[in-house]
Structure 1
Amino acid sequence: MRIMNILHDSVVDGIGLRTVVFFAGCPHHCRGCHNPQSWNMENGTELSLAEVVEEIASNPITNVTFSGGEPFAQAEEAHLLAIQIRKLGKSIWMYTGYTVEQLLAEGTEAQLALLEQCEMLVDGPFQLAERDLTIPFRGSRNQRLLSREDILRIRVELEEKQGILV
């Protein structure tokens, strides 16, 4: 997988101390993005699943956050990583420029599998006009903090609205 950076002991990327995995590659290209160098999938370093798990496990007191770039752009690899992280007993937060509705309605199997590993999702693209430094764990007011229960509720609402299973 292509990784921009792994940062330990963050207090701004979720509740508590967190190890943040910054994935390379992002299709959203949000104006005002704080990490535009992550847009290009060729940036960053190619790391194996074992290398990333070892780095995360080296800090036993932190939980984990997937950020980017866009973790869902590397959903297959990120899903496998999430499974290993959960085996370590760590919680996983994820940041995405997609809305949960987009992922549920249009996501690939790998993206949906990755979403299932998430305990807290910060969804939606960063919008410069909505930038707000006073709200915790988000960059703009349009972004939502969604728990696993929120995601399930939205999924059920979409299924009922569309009359199909998502």
Structure 2
Amino acid sequence: MAKKIRLAGIAYESLVNGPGMRRVFFSQGCRHNCIGCFNPDTHSFTGGEEKDMDELIQDVLDNPILKGVTFSGGDPFERAEEFAYMAKKFKENNLSVWSFTGYTIEYLLEEIDNRKGFRDLLENIDVLIDGKFEKMLSRKGLKFRGSSNQRIINVQETLRLGKIILMEEYM
């Protein structure tokens, strides 16, 4: 049986959603409704299109110029089980995995064992950009994020050390 995920879209080759050439998967569904959101068409949980995850994974692995993948949205943590499945396959193939979320890392860690897929997804993400987009905190020149309240977090070090470790080189 095919493993499916509902996506709003895919950017096949992107240089703006993390370092190096990346494939970006835009999750369909978001509860945050940030004012000024870049992707308001991703908010509905019934929009977008169902895609076969194994086909998406293989297509990434078949492209030698890709250095990693980024999960954007919508909010990938609303489809944590599906994105965790994909993240694990990408990590097994030495690709970097970045994810955006409107949730804070504190919330994700608090709910890590209460929400399906949260633990598996966090354990297979290298970098997380957390927090809602805040239009009043948006400014030109922010690297990899929309507003200055959002943090760029080294997820594996955060999990290992039990405290939030920022990726200072990108802040």
TM-score interval, normalised by the smaller of the two chains: 0.7 to 0.9
Note the C-alpha offset of 1:150.
4.7
Cα displacement string for residues 13-66 of structure 1 (whole angstroms, at most 9, x for unaligned residues): 001111101110011111100000000111111012212212322322211101
RMSD between aligned residues: 1.7
Shift of 1:109: 4.3
Change (3 A) 1:41 1:13: same
Task: Give 1:13-162 correspondences, 5 Å limit.
Answer: 13-62=17-66, 63-107=68-112, 108-152=115-159, 156-157=162-163
Structure 2 Cα separation of the partners of residues 133 and 18 of structure 1: 22
Query: Which residues of structure 1 form unaligned runs of 5+?
Result: 159-166
1:101-144 deviation line (CA, Å, top 9, x unaligned): 00001242411210111101100010011112211001000000
Larger helix fraction of residues: 1
Question: Contact conserved, 1:67 with 1:94, CA < 8 A, in 2?
Answer: yes
Runs of 4+ displaced beyond 3 Å: none
**Residues 102 and 128 from structure 1, CA distance in 2 versus in 1: closer, same or farther, beyond 3 angstroms?**
same
Measured in 2, the distance between the counterparts of 1:80 and 1:59 equals: 19
- Report how far residue 12 of structure 1 moved: 0.8
72-81 or 84-93, which deviates more: 84-93
The match for 1:8 is 12
Asked if the contact 1:8/1:59 (under 8 Å) is kept, the reply is: no
Structure 1 pair 59/32, CA: closer, same or farther in 2 (3 Å)?
same
The residue identity in structure 1 corresponding to 2:99 is M
Q: Is the 8 A contact 2:123 2:156 kept in 1?
A: no
The residue that corresponds to 2:168 in the other structure is none
Taking every aligned residue pair, what percent have the same amino acid on both sides? Answer: 39
TM-superposed CA distance for 1:157, in Å, is 4.3
* Secondary structure of the structure 2 residue equivalent to 1:47: strand
SS of structure 2 residue aligned to 1:133: coil
